[in-house]
Amino acid sequence: AQKITQTQPGMFVQEKEAVTLDCTYDTSDPSYGLFWYKQPSSGEMIFLIYQGSYDQQNATEGRYSLNFQKARKSANLVISASQLGDSAMYFCAMREGDAGNQFYFGTGTSLTVIP
Amino acid sequence: ETGVTQSPTHLIKTRGQQVTLRCSSQSGHNTVSWYQQALGQGPQFIFQYYREEENGRGNFPPRFSGLQFPNYSSELNVNALELDDSALYLCASSLRDIEEGSGNTIYFGEGSWLTVV
């Protein structure tokens, strides 16, 4: 079974609108972390937001928020007030336990912001 | 700027050759991991080094090997290159405290684009 599933290969959003990128995960480890990264065409992975499995509240970082539904094993990324510079690939990733930098990544979602 | 630099940024190799990719971690970071990202795919974990010792390995054959040096810089070596090794190779570094667990600030470099012909 896939550890991380991103079912939206491509998404379009109007500038200034909000968009939700879906992510579901699969793990039997009670302790895990969920991450979202942005990857522009240059290749660098840019950290956006982190949610720990024991965190009671949904994580927020500026225009990014993570809709964490533990029972459904979903960790959707919400980008509010989209900007043209948000156009990029977005990856959901999971780290199980204390695994350092060992992530499982999804296949990504390509987001295009339309002026 | 993440403070993680990788070299070279682009290279072309012939099938059967060997390649060494380098990663300079952010100062003080003791954990480095390497990922392979094929075109249109998410990154796949190759291996991780913590304080110069391999500390986890993904589903990659032994011809993928690595080193971490005392200054925490790192190398990824791939022997007997195959066409399917063509990918973006990413290095990620962080400061990991065994007692406190893993940090959540993990920095990636911009990657090395490898083409095998």
Instruction: State mean pLDDT over B22-42.
Output: 90
A1 pLDDT tier (thresholds 50, 70, 90) = confident
Nearest to A91 by CA among A32, A18, A33, A9: A9
| pLDDT(B84) > 90 | yes
Name which residue leads in pLDDT, B62 or B94.
Answer: B62
E-strand ranges in chain B read 5-7, 10-13, 19-24, 31-37, 44-50, 53-57, 64-68, 74-78, 87-94, 96-97, 101-102, 107-108, 112-116
A107 touches chain B (CB under 8 A): yes
Task: Tell me what pLDDT residue B25 has.
Answer: 86
pLDDT band with cut points at 50, 70 and 90 for residue B1: low
Q: What's the first-to-final CA gap in chain B, in angstroms?
A: 32
Higher pLDDT, A78 or A2: A78
DSSP letter for A14, please.
E
SS3 call for B85: helix
Distance of residue B15 Cα from the nearest chain A Cα, in angstroms: 24
The tokens for B47 are: 């291996």
Q: What is the pLDDT of residue B87?
A: 97
Residues 6 or more apart in contact with residue B114 via CB below 8 angstroms:
B11, B12, B13, B19, B21, B78, B85, B86, B87, B88, B89
- The pLDDT score that the predictor gives to residue B51 is 87
| pLDDT tens digits, A51-60 | 999 999 999 9
Tell whether the model's pLDDT for residue B101 goes beyond 60: no
Which residues make Cβ contacts (< 8 Å) with residue A63, sequence separation at least 6?
A: A79, A80, A81
Residue B102 contacts A, CB cutoff 8 Å: yes
Type of residue at B45: F
pLDDT band at residue B81, thresholds of 50, 70 and 90?
Answer: very high
Q: How far is A42 from chain B (nearest CA, A)?
A: 7
Compare CB distances from A100 to B2, B55, B58 and report the shortest one's residue: B55
- Is B55 near chain A, with CB under 8 Å? yes
**Angle (CA) A94 A40 B2, round 5°:** 70
Rounded to the nearest angstrom, the minimum Cα separation between A41 and chain B is 10
Cβ(A12)–Cβ(A110) under 8 Å?
no
* Locus of tokens 């949610």: A51
Residues 6+ apart with CB under 8 A from B39: B86, B87
Q: Can you name the residues that pair with A75 across neighbouring β-strands?
A: A68
Q: A12 or B107: whose pLDDT is higher? A: A12
Q: So what's the pLDDT on residue B105?
A: 72
* Residues from chain A contacting residue B48 (CB–CB below 8 Å): 100-102
pLDDT at B64: 98
pLDDT computed for residue B94 by the predictor: 82
Quickly state the pLDDT bin for B98 (edges 50, 70, 90): low
Mention every residue, 6+ apart, whose C-beta is less than 8 A from residue A54.
A31
- Nearest-CB residue to A105 (from B42, B94, B104): B42
